[in-house]
């Protein structure tokens, strides 16, 4: 008989463990309830296709508050469920894209990621758990629904009582019935990036006397990765990085790389007139690109990366097989796809929807308005990948006399026109009020005379003629699965549009997202302020959805 007994622990099921856009995200005290975290981990293990027995799982996260407790639970439950091996990052610090890469390069069964991404961390803030598949990507809806179904019916979970495992020491050891390998999670990922990009050209570019760089890790997981890339590989000075010490509560900040939450970076870039500024989020999958006087919207970012793909060795060698964006992301990418004759796709919000297309060899570059950009090098969006891609592009553009981020943006607009895009977030809205906003739009769409009508923005007397409306649904071209209710959209006859949907990543109440987009080929408009240009459209969107009346919110929480 083994020294290690598998213990069966009776539990009660929770009814609120449905994974959202990207895993289960709740406040820490929710995860701290007796059995809550164990139940969810058991539901994940029970839902692994083929079962948990003899599997190898990669485990890590952004190191946020409560991570160590949860990893110790994962070790015990994995041992109880017959998992053969866990590959865990030293001190748990493992960026989401690096986990994706590790799963793929080891041919592991899957991975458990501990992160609530860009949401704040700390004893009263957010925690999250998600499962990734053997392709390195987030579990598709069939699997997340299986996890949810398990969680609602669970009566017991299995574990082995084990002493706490020290995760600061590298190396492989046997802990009871399970093997634990603690790895350096930074080196393999940075070595991988070096195979994708022209690091020599980037190095030459960033050392030009008129070029300066500032990266902000927002105290999230990318700090050690950024240090290796910017300081060790590119030979830049310490002053080129900030916020690069991972902190369990992100130093009290909100690790979301946008104009609101990455204000320290924006301020420093403007004050010091830095050529290239960039930030990444808590778990390292999001990015923001910002040079002095030049903010790159994520929708433009993916379009520009696609347009300049040939300057990036990975694409120059392998070609660009297809392009894709999430539905609310602006149509800037579509214009590049059409111009280059490349297949392109519009998928629902959620990186998990890109995976099948990549696995089928039909998608190379994709992005989302929510500061996510990436490619088929892994199956997650990848903040540092996007940042290095931009440096690669800037180096190539510089050789053609196109200077800096501003130069690349102007060049793009003159070729393709400019797409103005903005997102208004109304966070922690009462759920009933949020549902009423959605219902308001559904009712409007059902009325026979809405399409063809011309709502007017009273402040400027601008009218928009309604051309098409709908609630976005998607049929996956590969496995033909159908995802409905993915966002209400109104498209106007001039090509502008707005979208309203409820976020699937909040941890409290509801978050309403309003996305607005307007396209212009009038070069006198290219230099225009985004919010100014979109004002009439936003007014019409708010009027039609009755958002202010239903929620009592006069202003959004965040504008990006
Ligand atoms: C996740 C998903 C993204 C999605 C974003 C926002 O990002 O991976 O695909 O665009 O959430 O989703 P929602 O609008 O439903 O809140 P992350 O960085 O939070 O993992």
List the structure tokens of 353: 């929807």
Q: How confident is the model over 437-454, as a mean pLDDT?
A: 91
CA distance 353 to 297: 21
Atom of ligand 1 nearest to the CA of 501: 14
pLDDT in tens, 11-27: 999 999 999 878 999 99
Q: How confident is the model over 152-172, as a mean pLDDT?
A: 97
pLDDT at 130 over 90: yes
How sure is the predictor about 342, in pLDDT bands with cuts at 50, 70 and 90? very high
How sure is the predictor about 504, in pLDDT bands with cuts at 50, 70 and 90? confident
CA distance 328 to 370: 9
Dihedral angle sign, alpha carbons of residues 230, 234, 235, 240: negative
Both 360 and 438 in one domain: the answer is no
pLDDT in tens, 218-246: 999 999 999 999 999 999 999 999 999 99
CA distance 256 to 133: 25
Whether the predicted model's global pTM rises above the 0.85 cut: yes
pLDDT in tens, 274-314: 999 999 999 999 999 999 989 999 999 999 999 999 999 99
Both 356 and 455 in one domain: the answer is no
Both 325 and 363 in one domain: the answer is yes
CA distance 86 to 172: 10
How sure is the predictor about 352, in pLDDT bands with cuts at 50, 70 and 90? confident
Residues spanned by the domain of 455: 419-559
Residues with CB under 6 A from ligand 1: 21-22, 117-118, 285-286, 326, 349-351, 368, 370, 372, 503-505, 513
Residue 1 forms part of a structural domain: no
Residue 370 CA to ligand 1 centre (angstroms): 7
Atom of ligand 1 nearest to the CA of 369: 10
pLDDT reported for residue 2: 55
Residue 209 forms part of a structural domain: yes
pLDDT reported for residue 377: 98
pLDDT reported for residue 21: 79
How sure is the predictor about 4, in pLDDT bands with cuts at 50, 70 and 90? confident
- State yes or no: is 460 an active-site residue: no
Both 140 and 219 in one domain: the answer is no
- Confirm if 377 and 383 have CB atoms less than 8 A apart: no
List the structure tokens of 297: 């919207």
Residue 502 forms part of a structural domain: yes
pLDDT reported for residue 502: 94
Both 432 and 319 in one domain: the answer is no
Residue 21 CA to ligand 1 centre (angstroms): 6
**Residue of 117, 364, 483, 545 marked catalytic:** 117
Both 425 and 442 in one domain: the answer is yes
- Provide the domain count of the chain: 3
Residue 503 CA to ligand 1 centre (angstroms): 8
Domain endpoint, select from 163, 185, 207 = 185
Both 279 and 381 in one domain: the answer is yes
How sure is the predictor about 1, in pLDDT bands with cuts at 50, 70 and 90? very low
Q: What is the CATH number of the domain that holds 316?
A: 3.40.120.10
Q: What percent of the chain has a predicted confidence (pLDDT) above 90?
A: 87
């Amino acid at each position: 008989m083994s020294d290690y007994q598998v213990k069966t622990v009776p539990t009660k099921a929770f009814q609120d463990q449905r994974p959202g856009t990207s895993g289960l995200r709740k406040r820490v005290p929710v995860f701290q309830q007796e059995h809550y975290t164990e139940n969810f981990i058991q539901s994940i293990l029970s839902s692994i296709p083929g079962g948990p027995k003899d599997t190898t799982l990669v485990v890590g996260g952004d190191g946020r508050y409560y991570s160590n407790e949860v990893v110790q639970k994962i070790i015990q439950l994995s041992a109880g469920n017959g998992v053969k091996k866990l590959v865990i990052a030293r001190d748990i610090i493992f960026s989401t894209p690096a986990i994706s890469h590790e799963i793929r390069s080891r041919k592991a069964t899957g991975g458990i990621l501990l992160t609530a991404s860009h949401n704040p961390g700390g004893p009263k803030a957010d925690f999250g758990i998600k499962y990734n598949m053997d392709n390195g990507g987030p579990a598709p809806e069939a699997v997340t629904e299986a996890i949810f179904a398990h969680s609602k019916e669970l009566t017991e979970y299995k574990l082995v009582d084990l002493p706490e495992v020290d995760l600061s020491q590298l190396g492989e050891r046997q802990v009871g019935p399970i093997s634990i390998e603690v790895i350096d999670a930074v080196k393999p990922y940075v070595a991988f990036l070096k195979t994708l990009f022209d690091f020599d050209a980037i190095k030459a570019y960033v050392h030009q006397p008129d070029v300066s760089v500032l990266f902000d890790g927002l105290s999230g997981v990318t700090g050690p990765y950024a240090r290796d890339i910017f300081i060790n590989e590119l030979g830049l000075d310490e002053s080129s990085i900030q916020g690069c010490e991972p902190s369990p509560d992100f130093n009290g900040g909100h690790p979301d790389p946008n104009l609101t939450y990455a204000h320290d970076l924006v301020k420093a870039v403007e004050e010091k007139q830095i050529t290239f500024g960039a930030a990444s989020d808590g778990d390292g999958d999001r990015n923001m690109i910002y040079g002095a006087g030049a903010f790159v919207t994520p929708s433009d970012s993916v379009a520009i990366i696609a347009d300049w793909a040939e300057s990036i060795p990975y694409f120059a060698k392998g070609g660009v097989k297809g392009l894709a964006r999430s539905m609310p992301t602006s149509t800037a990418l579509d214009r590049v796809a059409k111009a280059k004759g490349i297949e392109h796709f519009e998928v629902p919000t959620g990186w998990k929807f890109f995976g099948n297309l990549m696995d089928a060899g039909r998608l190379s570059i994709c992005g989302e308005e929510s500061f996510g950009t990436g490619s088929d090098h892994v199956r997650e969006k990848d903040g540092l990948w996007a940042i290095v891609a931009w440096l690669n592009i800037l180096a190539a553009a510089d050789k053609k006399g196109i200077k800096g981020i501003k130069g690349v943006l102007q060049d793009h607009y003159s070729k393709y026109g400019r797409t103005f895009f903005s997102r208004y977030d109304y966070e922690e809205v009462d759920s009933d009020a949020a549902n009423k906003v959605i219902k308001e739009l559904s009712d409007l769409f059902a009325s026979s005379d809405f399409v063809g009508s011309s709502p007017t923005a009273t402040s400027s007397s601008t009218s928009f003629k309604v051309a098409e409306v709908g609630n976005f649904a998607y049929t996956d071209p590969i496995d033909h699965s159908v995802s409905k209710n993915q966002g209400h959209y109104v498209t106007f006859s001039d090509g502008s549009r707005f979208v309203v949907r409820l976020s699937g990543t909040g941890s409290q109440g509801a978050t309403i997202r309003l996305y607005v987009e307007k396209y212009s080929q009038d070069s006198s408009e290219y230099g225009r302020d985004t919010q100014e240009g979109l004002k009439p459209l936003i007014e019409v969107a708010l009027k039609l959805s009755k958002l202010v009346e239903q929620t009592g919110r006069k202003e959004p929480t965040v504008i990006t």
